[in-house]
Amino acid sequence: MNRIIVSATAFVVLTCACVTNFAQTRPAPTPTPARPATPPPMPITLQANVPPAKIAVVDTTVFGDEKAGIKRYLNAVNTVQRGFDARTAELRNLQSQIKAIADDINKLSGNPVVSQESLRTKQADGERLQRELKYKKEQADADFEKRYSEVVGPVSNDIGNALIQYAAQNGLTMILDISKMLPAVLSVNPAMDVTQAFIADYNSKHP
């Protein structure tokens, strides 16, 4: 009995010794090295080769000036207008008749001697002339716009192409129509205005 206890006691002592020895001789775990932080991506710089700008302005409303404008443009506009002189006179005549009838009605309205029938007749005449005026004016406007496009349109396109050529010949990056920008323009260096120079150049090439 005592031998069994001694043997058990020896086994326990031996087991503890082995465990203690294993704990002392077991290597410590190797720490995992920290991963280096990923550097942020380098910004991509895009460089555009933008040439230095040389901007000029032109006032296209001067093209139609009777004295200082573009002669070829003025001739085209005047040609169209002369073709509608008769119709313009007819419209003015109708306006005069309508006004005369309106004046007569105003005068006769307060006269008790004038019959209401005559007033109604004048009113009917005035309304008929107003309808006629409206119809003829709409027709004249449509015909004028069509004729203007046929005659003046090609000249206007040619002037636009000439402006492009003028800019290239004078090293201009851009030409702006200042007449379309007036509300937004506070001041302009007079040296930037090439209106008269361009008109003189165009007139010399298109006498």
Sequence spans of domains, the chain: 55-205
Q: How far apart (Å, rounded) are the C-alpha atoms in residues 48 and 16?
A: 79
- The pLDDT, as a whole number, for residue 42 is 65
- What are the Cα distances from residue 204, in Å, to 129, 131, 207? 49, 48, 6
Task: Reply yes or no on whether the pLDDT at 139 is more than 90.
Answer: yes
pLDDT band at 7 (very low <50, low <70, confident <90, very high): very low
* Closest residue by Cα to residue 58 from 50, 68, 66, 43: 68
**Containing H/E element for 147?**
helix 116-169
- The pLDDT, as a whole number, for residue 181 is 86
Range 49-66 average pLDDT? 88
- The pLDDT, as a whole number, for residue 155 is 97
Range 145-160 average pLDDT? 97
CB 146 within 8 Å of CB 86: no
Q: What percent of the chain has pLDDT over 90?
A: 58
Tokens (6 digits) for 55 = 């901007």
Q: How far apart (Å, rounded) are the C-alpha atoms in residues 89 and 110?
A: 33
- What are the Cα distances from residue 139, in Å, to 33, 77, 88, 129, 198? 91, 19, 12, 15, 37
- The pLDDT, as a whole number, for residue 35 is 59
**Containing H/E element for 181?**
none
Task: Reply yes or no on whether the pLDDT at 18 is more than 60.
Answer: no
Q: How far apart (Å, rounded) are the C-alpha atoms in residues 189 and 176?
A: 13
CB 201 within 8 Å of CB 72: no
Q: How far apart (Å, rounded) are the C-alpha atoms in residues 91 and 84?
A: 11
The reported pTM is: 0.67
What mean pLDDT, rounded, does the chain reach? Answer: 82
Summarize the chain as % helix, strand, coil (round to 5).
70, 5, 30
pLDDT band at 144 (very low <50, low <70, confident <90, very high): very high
Tokens (6 digits) for 47 = 């460089």
Comparing 10-24, 69-83, 103-117, which segment has the lowest mean pLDDT? 10-24
